[in-house]
Amino acid sequence: MSRAQTPLQKYLAQYAETESSELNELPELTWQRVVVIPAFRESDQFLRRFKHTYGTLAAPSTMLVLVVNRPDSISHCPENHQLIEACYQHFGPLLWQKNNLSMMSKGPLTLLLVDRETVPIPVKQGVGLARKIGCDLAAALFEKKRLTTPWIHSTDADTHLPENYFSPPDHSINRGAQVFNFRHFGNDADPDCAEATHIYEQHLNYYRNGLSWAGSPYNFYTLGSSLAIHAETYAQVRGFPRKAGGEDFYLLNKAAKLQPIVQRQEITLQINARHSDRVPFGTGPAVAKILALQAKGSAFATYDPRVFIYLKNWLAYAPSLWTILQSFPKSPLDAANLKACTDAVPKALFPAVSALNFDAFLQHAAKQCRTDRGFWQHFHSWFDAFATLKFIHFLQASDFPPIPIDQALRDFAEVSRG
């Protein structure tokens, strides 16, 4: 009788990209750590940095999975061709090749090059598919016991990785995902871009701090350039979604429902402040928006701190729902009992909550939950990072319009002290 497939084996068999099925007849090598980088219109500077930081002979064996890609909305990308040529210059000679995969090695470093320039990526699937291809390959290497680490790192070509980047988490952390600290840095040649990027970084920190203060378990950064995920967890959430942007947010949102996200405060990545239109939203478009506002003499606006007060009040109230549900027959809630639940929600909070399919959540919780712990898990599976963002956006649209970021930071400092 054959043994049942593990979640990772099932994922690789049913959901992984085709490249991951082609890793046969590899050289007899194993690697101690792995990082995945998607690259579109990039120079080889990040390869030089990578070799300088991790290429010493005493360093652990490291696999870099590089997915050089272009969207099918353009016919040719000279920078990609130059980067592919540079890979052979930096890491040659060729050790192994199959279809669009090429492997080469230099000292303790091995480069697994994925050519998605020749076979372009659908424009609507963008960087999400590029990350998925690379991480699927890393997951397959782990399943084949060619990687001794289960942790798959994801970053970008504009990111400077510190020497302790690959440091394993505490032994108590054996699953889930990690996120790393980051700082953007600019250069004197483009001070406006550096300033705009600093403002956007303030916004990202402010949002994370607001979630933390409110008590949300989704209070982590969601940048594809600063995360690592366990191979088994990666399989359970079915990999990166094939999206042209926001793929990091959706991946971590799913992973957080399985295990708490570990925030590695001791590891800080440095990210170049630069102009970029590689993705439809994220840092590049946000910086472009800030620059456009500044050109008009306007300030970048962010969330009014009162949205975090409402979020804090909602999360503090939520356990009361379980107390109310326990007094009713388990399933289904009749109209009167359902109304009793919704009427008990503080009136100031109810409009934002009702916009999130609240009735369906109550019916499902009444049917499925047997303990307060089960209810709390079910609640945070429903009121996840995406629902939290929709809750905040509802409040922003209805009662608390955006305010200049300097004012928001001052006001939030007062709120959080109180």
Q: What is the pLDDT of residues 147-164, one digit of tens each?
A: 999 999 999 999 999 999
CATH 3.90.550.10 boundaries in the chain: 7-302
Give the separation between CA 213 and CA 210, rounded to whole angstroms.
5
CA trace torsion 8, 254, 167, 181 (10° rounding): 160
Burial tier of 173 (Cβ tally within 10 Å: 0-12, 13-18, 19+): middle
| pLDDT at residue 272, rounded to an integer | 87
Mean pLDDT for 105-131 is 96
Judge whether residue 103 has pLDDT over 60. yes
Mean pLDDT for 118-133 is 96
Amino acid at 136: D
Mean pLDDT for 184-196 is 84
Percentage of the chain beyond pLDDT 90 is 79
Smallest CA-to-CA distance from 212 within 397, 378, 416 is with: 416
Amino acid at 381: S
Buried b (16+ CB within 10 A) or exposed e, 8-29: beebbeeebbebbeebeebeee
Is the CB of residue 104 less than 8 Å from the CB of residue 95? Answer: yes
Label residue 182 by pLDDT band (50, 70, 90). very high
215-249 confidence digits (pLDDT tens): 999 999 999 899 999 999 999 999 999 999 899 99
Judge whether residue 2 has pLDDT over 60. no
> Regarding predicted confidence, which is higher, 35 or 58?
35
| pLDDT at residue 361, rounded to an integer | 94
First-residue to last-residue Cα distance in the chain: 63
| pLDDT at residue 1, rounded to an integer | 44
Helices (H), 256-302: 283-295
Is the CB of residue 48 less than 8 Å from the CB of residue 176? Answer: no
Domain 7-302 coded CATH 3.90.550.10: yes
| pLDDT at residue 243, rounded to an integer | 94
Structure tokens belonging to residue 364: 């499902």
Maximum separation of any 2 CA atoms in the chain, in Å: 73
Smallest CA-to-CA distance from 183 within 270, 249, 98 is with: 270
Give the separation between CA 329 and CA 349, rounded to whole angstroms.
26
Is the CB of residue 111 less than 8 Å from the CB of residue 103? Answer: yes
Structure tokens belonging to residue 359: 């009735």
Name the average pLDDT for the chain.
93
Give the separation between CA 25 and CA 294, rounded to whole angstroms.
55
348-406 confidence digits (pLDDT tens): 999 999 999 999 999 999 888 889 899 999 999 999 999 999 999 999 999 999 999 99
242-296 confidence digits (pLDDT tens): 999 899 999 999 999 999 999 999 999 999 887 766 665 667 788 889 989 888 9
> pTM of this prediction?
0.94
Smallest CA-to-CA distance from 298 within 190, 186, 393, 403 is with: 403
Q: How would you classify the pairing of strands 62-71 and 109-121?
A: parallel
Smallest CA-to-CA distance from 146 within 227, 67, 229, 61 is with: 61
